[in-house]
A = this chain, B = another copy of it.
Amino acid sequence: MLVLITYDVNTENAAGKTRLRKVAKQCVNYGRRVQNSVFECLLDNAQSITLKAILADIIDPEKDSLRIYYLGNKYQTKIEHIGVDRGIAADQTLIL
C-alpha cells in the first residue's frame, strides 16, 4: 500500500534541526521524497507500523507534527502532480 508521510518539525533550535534530519533520513530509507517534507512509501502493514513507531520516537510531540495518509494499493489514480518532480515513483525501477 502507499503510505504518505508529511511532517512539520520545529527547527527553532539545534535539537529541532537534528530531529528534522533524523525524520528525513528514516523516510528516505522507506520511500521517496516527493517534496521537502512529503514522502511516499510503498509499505506492507508491518513496515508501516515499524516506520510509524520510529518516527513517533524521533519527533517531539509537543513541537512537531507528523501526519500519515494511507492511500491503499490502488493509489495511482488518487495522485496528481503539477510542476517540478523531485524523483521517480516509489514503485518504479531505477535503471542505471
Contact = CB atoms under 8 A, between A and B. Distances in A.
Interface string A26-39: 00000000111110
A85 B68 contact: no
Nearest to A35: B8
A79 B84 contact: no
A37 B83 CA distance: 15
Given A63-B84, A65-B84, A86-B65, A38 B78 contact: no
Interface of A: 4, 6-8, 34-38, 52, 55-56, 59-72, 77-86
Lowest 5 A-B CB distances belong to which pairs?
Answer: A8-B35, A68-B80, A66-B82, A61-B83, A65-B83
